[in-house]
Amino acid sequence: MPNTLTFTSGAVSVIAPGVLTPYSKAAEKIQVTGETDGGTVFVYTKASTQRYFTARLPKLTQAVFDALYDFWNTTVNGKATTFTLTDEDGAVYTTARFWDEKLRWTKHQLAEVRYDMDLLLRIG
C-alpha cells in the first residue's frame, strides 16, 4: 500500500497512512569523548550507529488513532519493547522503538474527527 506505515508486534498490526520520507531522518554514533590536560582526545564507542526517523501520520481516522494509541500504550509499552516497522517503500525495520516519552497528536473536528501525529522512532 503506498503511503502507509505498518507497526507490528506479535499478532498485533496497525496500518496507518503516513510516510518516513522525505521527512526527518538522522543517525547517531553512540560515543563518549574526553580530552586530557595535554589536549589528547580519546573516544569510547559504546554501541553501533543508531538511526532516528520521524514518521508523519496525517488524517488518522478515530479507529486507526485508537489502534495506534493502544499499540503504543499497551502492546509495546512506550519505549519498552521493540516492534517491526514497515515503511511506505516496503523496507522493514525489525528493531523500531517509539523514542519520545509522550505521544502527541492534533485533533481536527471536520465532518468526522481526524488526528495528525508525528512520531520519533529509533531504529536499532
Residue corresponding to grid cell 509522550: 102
- Looking at the structure of the chain, the number of domains it has is 1
The pLDDT score that the predictor gives to residue 27 is 64
Please give the grid coordinates belonging to residue 114: 481526524
Q: Say how far apart CA 30 and CA 39 lie, in whole Å.
A: 22
The pLDDT score that the predictor gives to residue 21 is 61
Q: Other C-beta atoms within 10 Å of 98: how many?
A: 23
pLDDT tens-digit series, residues 13-54: 999 998 876 455 566 667 778 888 888 988 877 767 778 888
CA 72 to chain centre: 10
DSSP per position, 33-54: EEE-TT--EEEEEEEEEEEEEE
Which residues neighbour 59 within 8 Å (Cβ) at sequence distance 6 or greater? 17, 108, 114, 115, 116
Domain ranges, residue 45 = 4-123
Task: Identify the DSSP state of 64.
Answer: H
